[in-house]
Chain A
């Protein structure tokens, strides 16, 4: 006979196993079943006990205690700014300070000679978030395994904030050349620039997609030219670019997410999160908003570099 006492004991045991990261699939199912009528506080308390134990162990382990690396600290600061700006934007309280911070951070991140990574919206073509993917990219990890998914609602809010920045900020950011002009300049000036046409797609809805990829490894700058892509609903899904680089590792480099609105041709700046050494192909998938770390979706368009 199962008494309430024994059930509580079993629940505590399973919660402890969860907090100790040692829950089997069967136990997880059992836990969820037992948890239904149980207060959430039980779960929180055991996780807190485990968390505090970790803190005590690190207090006593001088060999393991390390300062946060400077580059990661700076990345977190940028994320913090973006998170704050996103929250304010979501609350309708975006301030001049937010905009200043966003602009300052971007200028800090981007060397004077670097590629402008924020696209001015192309009227009637790409939506503003095509450019803001890059703005958010500044707040993202440089690790290839990290996607926007982990940023949650903050990312969406930051997109909104960045869009506001694009519209409101005067000066160099607002006056950034159109992506089409930058693409043309790259084609003209970069000695190593390559131009690769998108291959034919067999995916439904993408057969008539057209355009090309322009890329300069030396400048780490590139643009997608796309026509005939079905418009996406950014609230449900976003296009994501991947750069296959055999010099890196098995995983393609995240090239950023972008949106396509109704209308004609769009030019999307490539926002590679890692240095691309030897691009072998560029591919586009359709992912959840913010993109993914590893895509298992079909390749909608591929531009393969010959040779």
Chain B
């Protein structure tokens, strides 16, 4: 199982972003752009590389599909959303700047925008739709299960979430990942609505701030 996950996770990663740098140490953990002269998939799409468009589907299809399905909780909506996301992604490839974020961060940002658009347009009620949540079998293990070492920004967020109070983390998961509205979360967790709103907003701002720590400022803070 583990080896399968590793293999598929590897195939999920854009091969062109493999680089010699390692994610920053846990103590600092800022996002640092990969040092590589190889073009990423999005950079190749922007440059007109025909094969890169298809590689993009192979690299990010499982991830986007899984996110869409989880967030929208409806396969038909998720299918539409995935198509919207890829079209947006290809068309936006020229805006990708590796010095600002990893490719998966760019992809997930576009995906998030489109998912929110769709959620808003269909006014989905989370929990009202049924999804088959059986664990995927090993044979069809999707390639979304492990972060890539070059994706330092993913590692930053992973650490931030890992060090959060479990209840705060759960609130963020329900809101950001599962698409529940804040009032639904408040009801589900028996918390005041204001508390939920505050925790989600402050949690996000905290993640953003951690992502924005530059290597220099992190070193200064550590010294």
The verdict on B191 contacting chain A, using a C-beta distance below 8 Å, is no
Q: Which parts of A48-70 form the interface with B (CB within 8 Å)?
A: 48-59, 61-69
**Contact-size category for B:** 35 or more
A141→B211 CA distance, assembly (Å): 36
Q: Among the listed stretches B14-22, B32-40, B104-112, B215-223, which one makes contact with chain A, having 4 or more residues with CB under 8 Å of it?
A: B104-112
Q: Among the listed stretches A17-25, A180-188, A199-207, which one makes contact with chain B, having 4 or more residues with CB under 8 Å of it?
A: A17-25
The verdict on B150 contacting chain A, using a C-beta distance below 8 Å, is no
The residue in B54, B104, B207 that gathers the most chain A C-beta atoms within 10 A of its C-beta is B207
With A45-B211, A45-B212, A46-B204 as contacts: A54 and B147 at CB distance below 8 Å: no
Which partner residue on chain B sits nearest A51 by CB separation? B108
The verdict on B82 contacting chain A, using a C-beta distance below 8 Å, is yes
A80→B61 CA distance, assembly (Å): 12
For A302, the chain B residues whose CB sits under 8 A away are none
A80→B57 CA distance, assembly (Å): 9
Do B111 and A51 touch (CB < 8 A)?
yes
Q: What DSSP secondary structure best describes chain A's contact surface? A: helix
Q: What DSSP secondary structure best describes chain B's contact surface? A: helix
Which partner residue on chain A sits nearest B201 by CB separation? A16
The verdict on A151 contacting chain B, using a C-beta distance below 8 Å, is yes
With A19-B204, A20-B201, A73-B61 as contacts: A55 and B108 at CB distance below 8 Å: yes
With A52-B207, A76-B83, A141-B79 as contacts: A65 and B142 at CB distance below 8 Å: yes
Interface string of A128-162 (1 = CB under 8 A from B): 00000000000001010110001111100000000
Q: Which of B69, B205, B212 contacts A13 (CB 8 A)?
A: B205
For A51, the chain B residues whose CB sits under 8 A away are 105, 107-112
Q: Which of A65, A93, A154 contacts B87 (CB 8 A)?
A: A154
With A48-B101, A80-B86 as contacts: A56 and B161 at CB distance below 8 Å: yes
Interface residue count for A (Cβ, 8 Å)? Answer: 57
9 contacts between A and B (CB under 8 A): A16-B201, A17-B197, A20-B204, A21-B179, A22-B197, A50-B176, A59-B144, A64-B69, A65-B142
* 17 more A-B residue pairs beyond the given contacts A72-B83, A84-B50, with a C-beta to C-beta distance below 8 A: A16-B204, A20-B201, A21-B116, A47-B112, A48-B105, A48-B108, A53-B204, A56-B157, A58-B70, A59-B144, A62-B135, A68-B62, A76-B57, A77-B57, A87-B48, A146-B83, A150-B84
A interface, CB within 8 angstroms of B: 12-13, 16-17, 19-22, 44-59, 61-69, 72-73, 75-77, 79-81, 83-84, 87-88, 91, 93, 97, 141, 143, 145-146, 150-154
